[in-house]
Amino acid sequence: DAGITQSPRHKVTETGTPVTLRCHQTENHRYMYWYRQDPGHGLRLIHYSYGVKDTDKGEVSDGYSVSRSKTEDFLLTLESATSSQTSVYFCAISLDRGPYGYTFGSGTRLTVV
Amino acid sequence: DQQVKQNSPSLSVQEGRISILNCDYTNSMFDYFLWYKKYPAEGPTFLISISSIKDKNEDGRFTVFLNKSAKHLSLHIVPSQPGDSAVYFCAASGEGNYQLIWGAGTKLIIKP
């Protein structure tokens, strides 16, 4: 495996609570991404990072924040979870900026009740 | 408005036959296209890609065809094997904007 792990793998949380998902890599890749996957939508980019403390928004960033204090860790926080954020979340890493060479984690299934 | 569309949610093919998965896009600025394969409880894994300067790319049993005038690409798997049963995603990116835009996926089922 490419050395990317996501935690937790499954989580159930209540509406209105904050939730943090973690992505950890051992590949020293510069770029890290958070996606969500929903039926009928494929994968949609939430936020991405191009270096320590350098992050930017994707197409569905509302209600989410991210932080990257170390090269290896990229955290996704749902500030106040809502049922519409029930989804499967994937982290990905890439060495370069281009659209190729993405390696994905195994995903976190989040259920907001 | 989805810029990348995979109109078939699922496809069932007999083992040994050809599987053809289709993908349409609307943005003429897309210049790089990729196919990813995803098994349950795993992340997507890269399968094959094609640049807009080509109309065909082949890698073993997998061939991707690009028809720029029709804004259409297809993935051919020949021969289909049981291990090919998975969800296949088409993704695209445009020059200067390397973010991937993904289709909704097609679930391929290979029947023995």
- Give tens-digit pLDDT for A50-105: 999 999 999 999 999 999 999 999 999 999 999 999 999 999 999 888 888 899 99
Whether B1 has its CB under 8 Å from any CB of chain A: the answer is: no
**Under an 8 A CB cutoff, do A42 and B98 touch?**
no
Q: For residue range B48-78, what is the model confidence (pLDDT) as tens digits?
A: 999 999 999 999 999 999 999 999 999 999 9
Only one residue has tokens 């209540």, namely A14
Rounded to whole angstroms, how far apart are CA atoms B110 and B31?
A: 31
Rounded to whole angstroms, how far apart are CA atoms A8 and B56?
A: 40
Residue A11: Cβ within 10 Å count: 16
User: Measured between CB atoms, which of B4, B32, B42 is closest to A99?
Assistant: B32
Q: Which regions of chain B are under pLDDT 50? A: none
